[in-house]
Amino acid sequence: MKDLIFSIIFLIIFSSQFDRNNGNVTINLNEKRQVIDGFGASTAWNGAVPNQTMNELFGTLGYSILRIRIDENKRWADELSNAKKALKLNATVFASPWTAPVIMKVNKQDEPGPLSSNQYSNYADYLKSFVDYFKNNSAPLYAISIINEPDYSDNPMTFTPDQMKNFLKNFAERIKSGSNIKIMAPESYGYRRDMNDEILNDPQSAAAVDIIASHGYGFIMKPQPLVKKSGKKFWMTEHFIDGNDFNSVMKQAEDIHNCLTIAEFNAYIHWWLRGNSITMMLLYQNWQLTPKAF
C-alpha cells in the first residue's frame, strides 16, 4: 500500500509538471550507450539489517547492488548477514575498507594516516582473508575496493596515487588468488579524474584494476574519456544529497540522471541506509523507508 501511495504521488506531481512545461523527449533506440549494472546502497555501520527491510529494498524496490564495510577488527558477522540476505534476492555485493588494522599504519592509531610501506603484503592478505571469509560462508563477493576515499583528509587511511598504483601492481593478484573477485579503485572522494587517469595511464596498474570507482562529493559532473576508452566498468559507489524535502529528492534524481548520461557510470550506489542525520538516509531509525528510498 505504501508503494502504491508513493507511486500515485509521484505520478500526480510529474503529470502536472509535464502539462505545465509541455516538454519534448527524443529517444534514439539505435544509439548504444553503457550497460547499467544496477543501483543500490550501503549497510556500513548499520549492523545486521532486518529481513523485512532488505526484502523491501532488494525485493520490492528492486535495488540490485549492496556495498558492505570491511571492519578493521574483523567484526564481520553483521555484514555477512546483510550480504547473505542481499544475495538471496539476487543482488551483487561488494566491499570497501575504510582503513587497515591500525598495527599496519605508520601512526599505529585510528586517525588519518598512510599504510606502512612494509605492510603492503600484510594488508593484501587482510583483504584476501575478508574475501575468503565470505566465500567460505556461502556469500561470495563480486568485488573488493582497495580503500575508501584515499584522498579525503579525514578518512582513517590515505593513499596517494603513486601508493595506489604501487599496491595495485604488486598486490592485487594476491587478493584475487583463489577467487573470481574483481578489484575496485580508487573510490576517490570527489570524482577525481586525475586519480583515475593516473591508474589507467600506467599499464601495470590499469591491468590490475577491474572497476574504476568514484564518489560524488564536491564536483561538477563531466565525462571521463580515459575511463571510457579503457573499457572498464565505471561505478559511482557513494553519493547522497542532504535534505529530506521535495527539492532535495529531485536534486538526488537529477544527480543520478547526470551520473548515467554525462559521466556514463555503469552503476549508482547511494551512501548508507541509516545514519546520524535523517536528511541523508534512506531509512528512518525504526527501519521504515524514507521518501528517498523510492
Length of the chain, in residues? 294
- The answer to whether 252 touches 241, Cβ cutoff 8 Å, is yes
Set 56, 72, 149, 198: catalytic member: 149
Question: Three cell numbers at 290?
Answer: 524514507
- The DSSP call for residue 274 is S
Give the span between the Cα atoms of 60 and 119, in whole angstroms: 44
Give the span between the Cα atoms of 68 and 200, in whole angstroms: 26
Give the span between the Cα atoms of 10 and 293, in whole angstroms: 13
Task: Please tell me whether residue 236 adopts helix, strand or coil conformation.
Answer: strand
Helix (H) or strand (E) holding 255: helix 246-261
- Residue 264 bears catalytic tag: no
Give the span between the Cα atoms of 44 and 30, in whole angstroms: 40
Give the span between the Cα atoms of 147 and 167, in whole angstroms: 11
- Residue 79 bears catalytic tag: no
- The answer to whether 95 touches 65, Cβ cutoff 8 Å, is no
Q: What's the 3-state SS for 123-160?
A: HHHHHHHHHHHHHHCCCCCCEEECCCCCCCCCCCCECC
If one counts every other C-beta atom within 10 angstroms of the C-beta of residue 36, the result is 12
Q: Which residues are catalytic?
A: 149, 238
